[in-house]
Structure 1
Amino acid sequence: MSVSLTIEDRVARVTLNRPDRMNAVDAETEERLESVWTEIETRDDISCVVLTGSGEKAFCAGADLKGGSGSSGFDYWTVGRENGFGGLAFRRTLDVPVIARINGYALGGGSEMVLGCDIVIAVDTARFGLPEARVGRMPLDGGMVLLQRKIPFNRAMAVMLTGRQFGASEMASYGIVNEVVSAAELDAAVDRWVSDIVACAPLSLRAIKQTVNRTAHLSPAEAQALRTPALIKALKSEDAMEGVAAFREKRAPVWRGR
């Protein structure tokens, strides 16, 4: 399986390319995804990431059980994945906003990757779920530790303890999905969200996400007092002055990223 990365107009598009296996992830793909996120973290010319799966059937069906996804069971667990499934589920060093473009099934690790995204746009036929318990496994790479923090406890447990699949509208009612659209509207909807994000100052975007990621465990007062590097950089930037100037002059700001 391959992962493609294209960057244009401050938008990075990451695509899982294995539609014949519902874009399931094997060990090689895990490594490739980790390298992709690391590359994006080092670049200053990216304001937004769009993550999706190729084809029309699946976003990502999780680990590749048929083709082999590396170690399993206890060995898999003990290796540890500090960033979660796909290097994304609970990554805290990626300060660029990530949009999940859900074009179909998002199961197992696929759902865990969704939990690591900031905005989720799903086609109305998409299906979500954590079916690991049905095959003698567990959602080790984000599901068990993230879902209960994002949605009400009973709903999170219903997802994990039944292994059921849930529709896009139901996941929207849970707060996991931001917008549900038809297949014909999916790209236009994603582009709208991308346009709104890219219209913002890139340093502000990074400061917001970095601060949110690094302060969730703190009290409001402690979080307010934390001086994250991205926050300080944004406050001292030329863009901070440009934004105010553009507002006063009633024109679109020209962001320099500095």
Structure 2
Amino acid sequence: MLDQSGYSMQTSEIRSTVDAQGIRRAEFDMNYRNDQPDIAIIHAVITNTNARAEGGQEMYIGVKIVESEADRATRQVAAEAAAIQPHNRDRSQDIAAKPAAAVTLEVARTERAETPPRAVVDGVEKQAIVKVEEVEPKAGVRGQAEAVKSAINASGAKTGEILSIIDEQGIRHSEMKVSYRTDQPEIAKVSNTLDAVARQSGNHVIEHSSDRAERREIGKGYEMAQPQHSQEITR
């Protein structure tokens, strides 16, 4: 994944041993330079890889990046001073919020107006999971989960089947998958609707933090020449 990410880091050959219990222990070196333009992204990858491993995320179980505190501190300083580079890159490696780019608001507006975001050009599909907790609806009454599904579909995103269970206290726990593309014309409406869903009591939108930031940024670009409309979820 690192070799194919498009970042300026370099990796060595994998060195590994297998112990008597059949456990394979592998390691490799990763080299980078603090003066590279993508150092902010590299810093995010390193920092959050360890954080996700410590958090028990399945993909990162058994993974650990070992480095000196001096190297970490120096890289962090370089990352904070670096401008974000929106180059072609493997989004699966974008696993942390990146330091803000040191640009003025006027320059940012000009660049956004003249150059479409890279993600819009290369449009990719994103996915999220929406969970809804509500008191079990009465027979024949549309529940909050159905209202949320309807609103998300109306925004232009796609939703999967609602999966629900009802606990002993009569609370209905529902979830559904949501998918959208970053280059679809309705991306601004999709993004605003997901944010509106997340703000409503009982709802939870589970998505990668970088995906959330990306859809909001792209959505704002689409809204620049369009009137603003509030997003409401009506039961």
TM-score class, shorter: under 0.3
> Normalising by structure 2, what TM-score?
0.23
Richer in helix (by share): 1
TM-score (normalizing by structure 1): 0.22
